[in-house]
């Protein structure tokens, strides 16, 4: 899951955006998200996105499970991704990859005739997403130690030599997207204002999870008592 260089600007973003509600799934600016599309409504969404000049789809988490066809309530912030690769399988599925561009706030929902949902997104609060964030501003060694403890607690494996040599945004963004954090934890990481805040929040999550696995308790921020 590499990181893409986004060339878009705030002024380039569309007035409407198709959205794909996915619980437990996180897309961040400059992140890459592979998806297997098989539901008819989302096949239609991909077809329409491919026919549009921007090829954008909004990834956002629902706050509830779908019941009886009623539209799910959504978290207030998602992330728009550009379709950068796609293929169609013999059984009619789309295998796609989105490159994260920028986060958006959820505005008015627009009626659609194709089964999927469309909104008016508000990108104005996230103009900083269009530029690569500055490095630093957090304890990198503590984050790496927290990640190692979290991986051990969850029975996960990691290439720690490669991870330790990666730039800050690649470490934080890629692992925030890949790690099996809860939907609430992933949303809190998405809504962090800066890379440094996201790194600190992820450190706290990892330390708290590792402490729980050891039978200890850790408050937000990961400091044990």
Q: What is the pLDDT of residues 60-95, one digit of tens each?
A: 999 988 777 788 899 999 999 999 999 999 999 999
14 or 216, which is more confident?
14
* Residue 216 confidence (pLDDT): 63
* Residue 191 confidence (pLDDT): 98
Q: Fill in the DSSP letter of residue 16.
A: -
On average, the pLDDT of the chain sits at 91
CA distance 138 to 40: 44
- Residues in CB range of 11: below 8 A, 6 or more apart: none
Q: How far is CA 3 from CA 53, 105, 132, 137, in A?
A: 22, 22, 11, 20
* Residue 217 confidence (pLDDT): 53
As given in the structure block, the two tokens for residue 97 are 């990859």
Chain segment 38-60, per-residue pLDDT in tens: 999 999 999 999 999 999 999 99
Res 96 pLDDT > 80? yes
Residue 133 confidence class, pLDDT cut points 50, 70, 90: very high
As given in the structure block, the two tokens for residue 94 are 């789309």
- Backbone φ and ψ of 201, nearest 5°: -65, -40
Tell if the pTM clears 0.75, that is, is over it.
yes
Please provide the distance, in angstroms rounded to a whole number, between the alpha carbons at the two ends of the chain.
36
Res 220 pLDDT > 80? no
Res 218 pLDDT > 70? no
Res 3 pLDDT > 50? no
């Amino acid at each position: 899951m590499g990181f893409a260089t986004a060339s878009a600007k705030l002024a380039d973003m569309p007035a409407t955006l198709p959205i794909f509600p996915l619980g437990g799934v996180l897309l961040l600016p400059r992140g890459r998200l592979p998806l297997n599309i098989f539901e008819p409504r989302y096949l239609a969404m991909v077809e329409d996105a491919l026919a549009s000049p921007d090829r954008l789809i909004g990834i956002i988490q629902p706050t509830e499970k779908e019941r009886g066809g009623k539209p799910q309530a959504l978290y207030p912030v998602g992330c728009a991704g550009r379709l950068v690769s796609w293929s169609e399988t013999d059984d009619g599925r789309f295998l796609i990859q989105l490159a994260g561009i920028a986060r958006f706030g959820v505005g008015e929902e627009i009626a659609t005739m194709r089964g999927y949902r469309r909104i008016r997104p508000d990108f104005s609060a996230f103009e900083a997403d269009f530029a690569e964030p500055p490095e630093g501003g957090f304890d990198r060694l503590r984050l790496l130690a927290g990640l190692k403890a979290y991986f051990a607690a969850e029975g996960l494996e990691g290439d720690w030599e490669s991870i330790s040599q990666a730039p800050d945004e690649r470490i934080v963004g890629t692992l925030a997207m890949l790690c099996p954090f809860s939907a609430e934890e992933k949303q809190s990481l998405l809504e962090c204002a800066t890379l440094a805040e996201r790194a600190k929040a992820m450190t706290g999550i990892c330390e708290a999870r590792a402490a729980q696995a050891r039978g200890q308790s850790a408050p937000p921020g990961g400091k044990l008592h």
